[in-house]
Each structure stands twice: as C-alpha cells, then as structure tokens.
Amino acid sequence: MKYTASILFVYLTTTLLSQKELSLEDAVMQQYRAFYPERIVGFNWLPNTTDYVYLSNDWTTLYKSSVSSKKEEILLTADDLEEILDIEMYRFYPMQFVSKDVFFMNNGTSFFKINLKERKAEILHDLEENANAPLFEPSSGRLAYLLNNNVLVRYEDSKKVISVTQNKDENIVSGQAIARSEFGITDGLFWSPKGKYLAFYEKDESKVHNYPLLDINQTPGALNSIKYPMAGQKSEKARVGIFNTANQKTVFIETLKDPEGYLTNISFTPDEKYLFVAEVNRAQNHMWLNVYDAMNGAFVKTILEETNDKWVEPEHPAYFPCDKKNNFIWMSEKDGFMNLYYYDFEGKLIDQITDHKFVVKSIVGLSNDEKHLYYEATGPNPMNTMVYDYNVKKKTSTLLTTVEGTHSRESLR
C-alpha cells in the first residue's frame, strides 16, 4: 500500500527567469500564463513496470515512455477516448492506474474504467445532480460522496446506493472537513485500504452563531450567513463515523478528553482493524493519538501523547510504511521542527528517523526492499521543497535533489 520502488521521478517546477522588473499587470495577470512554471502534466507510473505515462499540455493526448528510453509513444487521444466511451470527451481527467493496461478516471460526476489493451471502457458511476466531494475506492469499486449534508455510498454495481447518514437538521453536517480546516484537515471522507470501511467527519453546529458575509457578485449585494465560531464563543461539536460496507452499520467516535476538543488526522491501519484519530483539546496544548476498533468504534488505547505549554498542532495522519505491520511513522514538531518518528503498535519509539533543523513536509514512500524511505523537506532554505533518501540500515539521509527550487516527485509503486 505504501511501498515505492527505488526509482523516483523528480522534476523541478520553479521557473528560472532572468532578473527583471515586473509590472503590476504582469505580476497578477501572467502568473498562470507566461510565468507559470513548466511541468509534466498527468504523470503516472505504470504499476509493476518502469514505464510511465503523461499528458500533453492541453490534456488531449496520453503518452507513454520509460526510464530506460527517451522515446515517447502515443497511447490514446481524447478522440479515441470519446469513441471508446461513446460520450463527448474533449480532454483527459486525472487518472489512477491499477495495472499497466487499466486505469480509472473521473470528470467529477462520472467515473470510468478504461482498458488500453482491449480498447474498452465502462461507466462505473454517474452521480446525482448536486452531489459533491466524490471519493472513489479502486480496490472495491465503491464510491462515497455527499448530498445535502449527508454521506452516501454507491456499491460496485452502481445500482446499490446506501444513505450512510440521514441528517434533516441543517446544523448537522456529515462528510465535510471540520475545525475550519485546521490541523491539516482538508477532507471529510476516508476509505480503509481495501474499502471495507468508510470513516467520515460529522459536526454539530447548533451552538455556533451565524456570521454574515457580503456577496458582491450580484447587484445590489446580499448577505449570506455561514457558521463561524468566534473566539470565546461556542464551537462545533465533532465526532467521527465509521461505516461498515458489509453490514451497512455505522458507529461513532466522540472526543474523550474535552467535549469541545478537535478530532484530527484520521488513518486506518493496513489490516483495516483499527482507526487512528488524533484528539486535541480546545486549548490546543495537548494531543492524544488514540486507537479505536474499526468494527465497533470502541476505544482501544492512547498510543502516544504530546504536550506543549504553548502549542500542539498535529498536521499529518499516522503513516504506515508496510502492509504487513501496524508500525507507523508520526510527523511531529515536538523538537521545534517537523521530523519523522517511527513507532511500533505498542507506542514504543523504534527510531527517530530525522533530526533536521528544518521542516520535513511529507513522506513519499518506502522502497520495495524496505531499505530506503523517501521524504520531502525544505532543506536549509525554507522556500525549497527537496527530496531526501533515508537509508534504513545506515540511519542516514541523503539529499537527492541538488538544484534549489520546488521539486515535485512521483514514486514508482
């Protein structure tokens, strides 16, 4: 699940410009045109190969190449795609390859499975009008999404649709990001590794005051109200739901330490038996990383805690580098900088992977031979994003990208 072979595709996305004075018009109007950094569009590794695919800049042609060759081959065009699907398709959309010949793609409302070798395609799911935030799970073919503040799940045959929640009170919102997207929260839906469970956030905003915003897109302007917890006022009450796709039952996890606390950084263990949730108190100076039984939602244990007299802010869920173990990597700022710490399932620290005096930004993955862990960090210059290789045996990190700038990477999975 989290493996990556010892081949990384790293490309620099900074634009190297000669020094010149920019006009205000150029700085604003050309930032996504003339001054937009060159990059590779739609890059994907083809599973179990060293071949990769990418798209033309206009998203209309799919190319294939290899690390051992500079030759490029056209695999498919938007016209081919339109003919295979028998619907209007002017361009490609983000793709997810599950084999060298098969990939999933969606345009936000329709989800497709495309076989390059057989030149066949099928529509897996078509969403209802006003549905949003779809999250596809490729192992099971199931699709979770939101409709009118509720969570729904479409099963692999696309005909079976389950309303996971049935909220009628507009103050109860399921499946959306909570806590004003603090603590690294950007999503509200989370599939387990093989699609057995779906976790989701739910918030009760009944005690949160309305806050008026002026809509200037119409004349005259109009006021729209949103829920916004001002300092010192009541906040939303959060909980986490776990939907079992087999028995179609849902259990909920509440805060344990502080009724107005935060539930953050959700992740399932590789065996799908447990759910990790980081709980932070309202004062935001104490964090408990709790483990729950995914089947019944029961609290299992607190696997680690962090406190700080000023600030605690977990921003990354527990990362499980190996499919066969529940050992995990935790990203923490407890020493002043974001670093990587490797724990076993009992909460014992096995290894402090990094001890940088700069920020680690994300984990790329573990090599198939489990000898190398790749991660992104700023390096000494905080404006950079660089790629590092941690040698598990030697316990040393090596910088792979030597040119300063913002490097994007794709791991070979």
Please give the helix or strand (H or E) that residue 82 lies within, else none. Answer: helix 78-85
Rounded to the nearest 5 percent, the helix, strand and coil shares of the chain are 5, 45, 50
129 burial level (CB within 10 Å; 0-12, 13-18, 19+): exposed
Which residues are registered as beta bridge partners of 52? Answer: 45, 65
Q: How many domains does the chain have?
A: 1
Q: Flag whether 411 is in a domain.
A: no
Q: Flag whether 81 is in a domain.
A: no
Q: Flag whether 233 is in a domain.
A: yes
Low-confidence residues in the chain, pLDDT < 50: 1-3, 5, 15-17, 413
Q: Flag whether 287 is in a domain.
A: yes
Which residues are registered as beta bridge partners of 214? Answer: 223
Q: Flag whether 255 is in a domain.
A: yes
Q: Flag whether 370 is in a domain.
A: no
Report pLDDT for 1. Answer: 44
Q: Flag whether 214 is in a domain.
A: yes
CATH number of the domain encompassing residue 232? 2.140.10.30
| Angstrom distance (rounded) from CA 370 to CA 366 | 6
Order the strands of the 396-399 sheet from edge to edge.
360-366, 372-377, 386-391, 396-399
Q: Which two tokens stand for residue 253?
A: 């996890």
Whether the predicted model's global pTM rises above the 0.75 cut: yes
Report pLDDT for 150. Answer: 98
Residue type, 109: T
DSSP state of 321: -
- Domain extent at residue 211: 131-318
- Pairing mode of beta strands 237-244, 249-253: antiparallel
Q: What's the half-sphere exposure (Cβ side, CA atoms, 13 Å) at 155?
A: 13
Question: For 69-121, what is each residue's pLDDT tens digit?
Answer: 889 999 999 999 999 999 999 999 999 999 999 999 999 899 999 999 999 99
Closest CA to 241 of 279, 203, 272, 194: 203
Q: Flag whether 170 is in a domain.
A: yes
